[in-house]
Structure 1
Amino acid sequence: MMEKGQISAWQFFILVIGYLLGTSFFFRPAGLIAMAKQDAWIVPIWAGAAGVVMSFIWIKLANHYPGLTIVQICTHAAGKVIGGLIALLYIGYFVHVSALITRNLGDFMKQTLFPLTPITVFHVMFLLIICYAVIKGVETIARATELLLPLITLVFLFIFFVALSEWNWDRFQGMFRMNVWTTMKETRSILGFPFMESIVFMMLLPYVRSRRNVSFLLGVVVATLLLSLIVFFTIGVLGVTRSSHDTYPLFVIVQELHIGSFFENLESTIALILLVAIFIKLSVAYYGAVLGLCQLFRVNDRSWLAISLILLISGLALGFDNVLENIEIDKRYAFEYMSLFGIIFPSLLLFLTWMKQSLGKEKAGSSS
């Protein structure tokens, strides 16, 4: 299936920011603060720097195969059998990421806003909207992001300025005391989620009209700085102890905001931000899975594949037991699992590409 849509460099840039911040701005701060205390805001910076290095590898690989997605690159670089198997693993990975994002949404809605509603209801309702966006194509997803991102920004800025009244610099006492190597080792999972997850943009690169490499790298840098700022803000408003003991510290900050007697129960605003952010992230991951399946199995109409994935993803989302178990799995295995798709496979494909090119040059030299 050929995607006929094209997106601009600006749209791609905001898609990268929206995807990287999608769920990480909400689910990452508590774990980082628990491990790195007052220095937790530094962790996204080193992880983002590593993310930029990984992005260079992906871009280098994409430049060797202009107009091809990562699924198509796999079969071109490693052959139909091995390459097809790697491509299938990538599609499975995009499905798995989609299921994780879906479960994050369900857990949050059930724990904070609708405790009596079955979690499957949230999964299916949201996946139906995502499925529609994916069927419409990459242009629709990009335009929706372009429309929704200013909304997130305005609401977040409002929360930020109102919550500054609770700010206390004393909460940063004891800064710069972390053991760098130990902290990096303990917080390595942030490399997997969100930075390695952005390998899915290798499915979108061929459809960016211009300056795709710059847009991608800038998006990673800006998202890194924003994530660091959010962690810094959380520590300053809630403090290390409260932030590390709350699953959703940003939700707690908004829950406690009161502006006179007029603005109360503002937690619905943070729920709105999260829903929009999850829409951006899930639509990109879901699109990567659908497009990958279409390209690998040469399916021309993506509609039925997209609809079928609703059942698969909502079913897989139920396989994650609870929030605490998910956090533990993420801490122990996220980096190792995601490095397979973010580092090992791209490096292998790049190595095979260089081998083919050098062999091709040798043959051309000997024949002449």
Structure 2
Amino acid sequence: MMETARISTWQFFILALGYLLGTSFFFRIGGLISIAKQDAWMIPLWSGIAGVLLVLIWIKLANYYPGNTIIQICIQVAGKGFGGFIALLYIGYFVHLSALITRNLGDFMKINLMPRTPIVVFHVMFLLVICYAVTKGVETISRSTEFLFPLVTVTFLLIFFIALSEWNWDRFQGMFHMNIWTTMKETRSLIGFPFMEAFVLMMLFPYVKSKNRIKVSFILANVVTALLLSLGVFFTIGVLGVTRASHETYSLFVIVQEMHIGTFFEHLESTIALILLIVIFIKLSISYYCAVSGLCQLFQVNNRSWLSISLILLVSGLSLGFDNILENIVFNREYYFEYMLLFAVIFPLLFLFLTWMKKGKEKRKVVGSQA
């Protein structure tokens, strides 16, 4: 069942921006640079355009069913049988996405900070915090995000200005030599992660106070994400260079790791690790909340607390599906875009088509009765 929470348009924008930008800012930059070299900063721009076009499709669908989540839309459009099956697939995706985010956290912590700690310890400890936030509801998540967002912003700005001392324009030599079609094909995964993942935010539409401003807020979050990702890639190339950035899984972490101010401020990587935990909290809390809320809506469950606790074991178990971080990277690069097509494009377009068919039949019945 749906809660009676309400969030402002600004809070929805912060949630959308944190959800889209957070983990992608840490995990996507090095991979993009390895493919497109000095031209990698262009990739987020055309991926952002694709993201805006997808948002328009989702907004169009949501306008036909105001006050409903994607789970409720499935049932209204396709019925309890087929629609309920598609809704269950969506819930399965929310759970899988939560597992992928959890694994990203575990890989980062184990590789960079605590290599001797079992990865499952990071998963369970963080999921317990997420479970508590989800139990408290979407208002608590949005207020926490609103409170933490300025801290993340100030930290990134500080990193940017300090690291500019290592900037070298010579690292951009060789720009505009890429094969556009080949590069778009090889970097299609950026459309999947993060821009296609944004359809998850349709689960939050009913809680936004001003329904008329959701469209502007959602599109603006996608545009800002694309611009900041492009700036992040451009910044990384200028500071680390193409060769080095291409071989670093966490290029932003490496930049911070090597930053120092005199002999007093050194080893600032713990700061960026804290920021990563914050942005993962934002994204994981949203995807986990959508999984729990979707189950409650589909099976008419009033109390989501036990569902939240139960999903910890499932998400933690699924997050161990990859043997190592390389398998995770290969899955994301080779298969994630096609995987996302079903949920972000095919199903929404199918629902739009079925909605237009139903409305066409209703119009013909009205015309027939008047005649």
- Please indicate the TM-score interval, normalised by the length of the shorter structure: over 0.9
**Which residue identity lines up with residue 227 of structure 1 in the other structure?**
L
Residues 1-368 of structure 1: pairs in structure 2 closer than 5 A: 1-210=1-210, 211-368=213-370
Equivalent-residue separation in structure 1 for 2:69 and 2:322 (angstroms): 30
Q: Deviations over 1:189-232 (max 9, x none)?
A: 11111111111111001110111111111111111111111111
Once the two structures are superposed, residues 16-40 of structure 1 have per-residue CA deviations (whole angstroms, 9 ceiling, x without a partner) of 1100012100000011000000010
Distance 1:116 1:79 in 2: 50
| 3-state SS of paired residue (2:175) | coil
> What's the RMSD between the two structures over aligned residues?
0.6
Structure 2 unmatched runs, 5+? none
Work out the CA distance in 2 between the residues paired with 1:22 and 1:288: 18
CA distance in 1, matches of 2:221, 2:254: 28
Distance 2:102 2:322 in 1: 11
Deviation at 1:262, TM superposition (A): 0.4
Note the C-alpha offset of 1:356: 0.4
Q: Which runs of 4+ in 1 moved over 6 A?
A: none
Q: TM-score, normalised by structure 2?
A: 0.98
Q: TM-score, normalised by structure 1?
A: 0.99
Structure 1 segments unaligned to the other structure (5+ residues) = none
Number of residue pairs aligned between Structure 1 and Structure 2: 368
Q: What is the percentage of aligned positions where both structures have the same residue?
A: 73
* 1:328-365 deviation per Cα after TM superposition (whole angstroms, max 9, x unaligned): 11111010001110100000011100100001111111
Opposite residue 200 of structure 1, the aligned amino acid is: V
Amino acid at match of 1:276: I
Report the Cα distance in structure 2 between the residues aligned to 1:281 and 1:151, rounded to whole angstroms: 16
Q: SS of the residue aligned with 1:23?
A: helix
The residue type equivalent to 1:314 in the other structure is S
**CA distance in structure 2 between the aligned counterparts of 1:49 and 1:195, rounded to whole angstroms:** 10
Query: AA paired with 2:345?
Result: I
Displacement after TM superposition at 1:247 (Å)? 0.8
